[in-house]
Amino acid sequence: MRLPENFVQEVLDRTNIEELIGRYVTLKRTGSNLVGLCPFHSEKTPSFTVSPDKRMFFCFGCHAGGSAITFVQKAENLEFTDAVALLADRAGLPMPRESGNGQHESGVSRKRVLEANLEAAKFFRACLFDPEIGKAGMHYFKETRGLTEATIRHFGLGYAPDTFGSLTDYMHGKGFSDEELQVAFLCGKSRKTGRSFDYFRNRVMFPIIDTTGNIVAFGGRVLDDSKPKYLNTSDTPAFKKSNHLFALNYARHCCAERMILCEGYMDVIALHAAGFEYAVATLGTAITPNHARIFSKYTKKVIISYDADEAGQNAANKAMRVLGDVGMEVRVLRMNGAKDPDEFIRKYGAKNFEKLLDESRTGFEYKLENSLSRHDLTVGQEKIRASGEICEVIAGYSSSVEREVYLNEAAKRLDLPLDVLRNNVERIRRKQLEERKAKESREVRASIKHFGDRINPDSAKDVKAAAAEEHVLGLLLMFEEYRRAVQNGDVALTADDFVTAFHRRVFEAMMRMERSEGGFRFALLGEEFTPDEMGRIQKAEIARRELTENGPSAFRSAVETLREIAAHDRVKDRDLQSRLAYLRKTKLHKGKETGE
């Protein structure tokens, strides 16, 4: 059921969009607007704009845009109704009882998944603290890992018993259906018998808690030799791996200066127990650009603490690149005598780990050491390979000062002339620039033809019609009198005049809302369109706003152009259909003659 329009508007009226977005983005005022680095794509030059007067935001880089509701949808991975609920809660407004909740395609709502997760967490915790059922899990936490009961309770740790359906039966008793449990990734369904079974079995359980205190998912570590070693909740209506970091709900309160990025849950828990409460981990997946943007919201510096094996080094290299793309200061921890932070702290103590953090290396130092350790510099060919790798790394830094510092260091370590390395770096940079320009040129050409347009795929079939439609929609979005003129029939324009399905949907929604008692309100389009679609709609308005001629004559001319294109396309379509009908008839006639 749709939310009452007046309620949605009241939520928006009570939401200070500058203050809301300021929690995610560092904003600087430029005239009547504010600008900052976009939280939805990686950039180093601000292209993200907030207009407090219009209560809107827009990114000129990735074209994300919309109202405060749209922002929360994208920032927190929420459906429209759930985003409204979050903002309503912040404003102290109770949600209307008759309203529905954002739902998964299965019909299971995010709210229902969160309720299921909370009950499951209670079950796992009760199992862990049961002297018989949770004996194996408690032994692992206390004896193998050395955790105190206080730490176990602090993180809400639990245990999933080694049974086929204990959790499923418990959840049935709490009123949850098999479908809800499957969508929440708490139980699976046997292909042979059709029976539901517990997804997590004989595993110690780590609840994943978001920054608002909701249990959104679980991670489970096996206690025997079963594979996989770690099992994690897949994406659900309440959870997407790239939107969350383990223990961020605690770390966000004390991470302004630095955060530690670990590989696993136990490393994070061990660090928190030792007083390093600014440690977090990704959730069974490699770091993504979205994770990097989350880091950038909370801290200035990230210290990577991955295992010292080859897999850990490769992961660290990727993390450095992804975090560097959002302007983070990145350093890498070097541990000797231990494979991970948990083992290091148990062996050498928290004070020595603190010293280790202070001595962490820059990304370049880490890569330099790795390259030098893999090559024998007394062998000419090996030295050439090492210098090539290091020059590639140096060429990747945009700051000329950084490049010069690193070139001097590399020249000393490789025992090669500085000018030789500098020339090699500049050659690599020129090649990268040429490749980048070629790529941009390809993207521009594709963009002109609308190839790869996932929001309005029809635009590739008729570029001229799509442009005309966008022009008309932009003017309708800007001016109420134009919407009224269309509604009253003063300007002849109908949904049939739109060639592309997406623009037709936008027009129909706008006019339907215009005819309603409350009239047209841009933010309410978010109930029918995704956040990405909302950004495209707002882009149409912004593009028209920049034109000098937006008067009634310009609008009528734009409508006439669109109708002419649509009429021409209809004629072409009729001609094509006639031609196809003629060919089918001819083929049928020939078939009869030949007896085919």
**CATH code, domain carrying 201:** 3.90.980.10
Answer for the pair 513, 522: CB distance below 8 angstroms, yes or no: no
User: Mean pLDDT across the chain, nearest whole number?
Assistant: 85
Q: Could you tell me if residue 595 is inside a domain?
A: no
Q: Considering the chain, what percentage of its residues have pLDDT values greater than 70?
A: 89
Render pLDDT for 260-306 as a digit per residue (tens, 0 to 9).
999 889 999 999 999 999 999 998 778 888 888 889 888 989 999 98
pLDDT score for 547: 61
| CATH number of the structural domain spanning residue 551 | 1.10.860
Render pLDDT for 536-567 as a digit per residue (tens, 0 to 9).
998 888 877 666 556 677 788 888 888 888 77
Compute CA 475 distance to the chain's CA centroid, rounded to the nearest angstrom. Answer: 31
Give mean pLDDT, residues 72-86. Answer: 88
Calpha distance 421→411 (Å, rounded): 7
pLDDT score for 100: 43
User: Is the domain of 185 the same as that of 261?
Assistant: no
Range of the domain at 567: 457-572
Answer for the pair 83, 76: CB distance below 8 angstroms, yes or no: yes
- Among the candidates 317, 334, 359, a domain finishes at 359
C-alpha distances in Å from residue 586, one per residue of 465, 577, 594 = 33, 14, 12
User: Is the domain of 286 the same as that of 315?
Assistant: yes
Render pLDDT for 69-78 as a digit per residue (tens, 0 to 9).
999 998 887 8
480-487 helix and 501-515 helix, angle to the nearest 10 degrees: 90
| CATH number of the structural domain spanning residue 256 | 3.40.1360.10
- Among the candidates 91, 123, 156, a domain finishes at 91
416 — pLDDT class (breaks 50, 70, 90): very high
User: Quick check: helix, strand or coil at residue 280?
Assistant: strand
The DSSP bridge partners found for residue 203 are 160, 222
User: Is the domain of 435 the same as that of 482?
Assistant: no
pLDDT score for 216: 95
Q: Could you tell me if residue 406 is inside a domain?
A: yes
Task: Indicate whether 1 pLDDT > 50.
Answer: no
Q: Which of 275-279, 454-458, 573-577, 591-595 has the highest mean pLDDT?
A: 275-279
Strand pairing class (329-332; 301-305): parallel
